């Protein structure tokens, strides 16, 4: 079963609808016992970094999710669900992230361009052979809505980048955790392919 974690933020039902195109075994849940039993987890997130972390902590689900990550359960973070995997953000200096990845989330610097970065943009894969990008064309276009981007201490976890005034992190991947800054559920066929690849992913 794939559990889409409901901690009060995120495009939960649009994410569920996208996953439901490939599997019936997916549900939006705030039930800790179901999260503890799930085969895979999806961590969505939209809006303010601090508000997302406040909601996540208040939900009581954070320890269960962190335990599952530590145990090797595959997790897919989406948008702010990627950002809160890091240690903190310039958007909410007093809020601590989950710290799954070392590094901070920083404001986009794009002189002459509108921030937030909103709309379709092409990404460049930073690594070859990533399972969740399997079958995608080179430089596919995905849908973005964000004003901040993750800057990992360890650049080897960057799976894809996007150019918008500067080079931004579009996706990260390490061990059993993958996450995208773009919204796969809003990115048409290529986004659905990323979702299908996660569903099919055999994480060692």
Domains of the chain, start order: 2-200 (3.40.50.880)
CB half-sphere exposure, 136, CA atoms < 13 A:
29
The predicted-structure confidence for 75-118, as pLDDT tens digits, reads as follows 999 999 999 999 999 999 999 999 999 999 999 999 999 999 99
Rounded to an integer, what distance in angstroms lies between the CA atom of residue 31 and that of residue 7?
10
Catalytic, 166? Answer: no
Residue 4 predicted with pLDDT over 90: yes
* pLDDT (0 to 100) of residue 69: 97
Which residue of the set 117, 146, 149, 183 is catalytic?
A: 183
Rounded to an integer, what distance in angstroms lies between the CA atom of residue 109 and that of residue 87?
20
Q: Is 58 helix (H, G, I), strand (E, B) or coil?
A: helix
Catalytic, 185? Answer: yes
CB atoms within 10 A of CB 202: 6
Largest CA distance in the chain: 48
Quote the pTM value: 0.95
If one compares 11 and 135, the residue with the highest pLDDT of the two is 135
Q: Where are the beta strands (DSSP E) in 22-102?
A: 26-29, 40-43, 75-78, 88-89, 92-96
If one compares 9 and 90, the residue with the highest pLDDT of the two is 90
Which residue of the set 52, 79, 117, 146 is catalytic?
A: 79
Which residue of the set 16, 117, 149, 185 is catalytic?
A: 185
pLDDT > 90: what percent of the chain? Answer: 92
The predicted-structure confidence for 13-47, as pLDDT tens digits, reads as follows 899 999 999 999 999 999 999 999 999 999 999 88
Catalytic, 183? Answer: yes
CB atoms within 10 A of CB 50: 18
Rounded to an integer, what distance in angstroms lies between the CA atom of residue 95 and that of residue 54?
8
> Mean pLDDT lowest for which of 79-88, 97-106, 135-144, 195-204?
195-204
Do 38 and 5 meet the contact criterion of CB atoms below 8 Å apart?
no
Do 134 and 196 meet the contact criterion of CB atoms below 8 Å apart?
no
What b-and-e string marks burial along 29-48, b requiring 16 or more CB atoms within 10 Å of the CB?
beeeeebeebebbbbbbbeb
* pLDDT (0 to 100) of residue 8: 86
């Amino acid at each position: 079963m794939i559990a889409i974690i409901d901690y009060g933020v995120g495009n939960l039902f649009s994410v569920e609808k996208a996953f439901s195109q490939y599997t019936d075994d997916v549900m939006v849940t705030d039930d800790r016992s179901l999260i503890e039993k799930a085969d895979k987890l999806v961590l969505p997130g939209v809006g303010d970094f601090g508000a997302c972390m406040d909601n996540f902590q208040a939900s009581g689900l954070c320890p269960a999710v962190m335990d599952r990550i530590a145990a090797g359960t595959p997790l897919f973070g989406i948008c702010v669900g990627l950002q809160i995997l890091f240690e903190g953000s310039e958007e909410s200096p007093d809020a601590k992230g989950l710290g799954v990845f070392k590094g901070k989330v920083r404001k986009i610097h794009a002189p002459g361009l509108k921030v937030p970065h909103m709309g379709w943009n092409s990404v460049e894969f930073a690594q070859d052979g990533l399972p969740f990008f399997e079958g995608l064309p080179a430089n596919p276009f995905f849908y973005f809505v964000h004003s901040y981007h993750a800057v990992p201490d360890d650049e080897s976890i960057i799976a894809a980048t996007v150019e918008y005034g500067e080079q931004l992190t579009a996706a990260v991947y390490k061990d059993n955790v993958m996450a995208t800054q773009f919204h796969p559920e809003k990115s048409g066929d290529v986004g659905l392919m990323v979702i299908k690849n996660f569903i099919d992913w055999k994480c060692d």
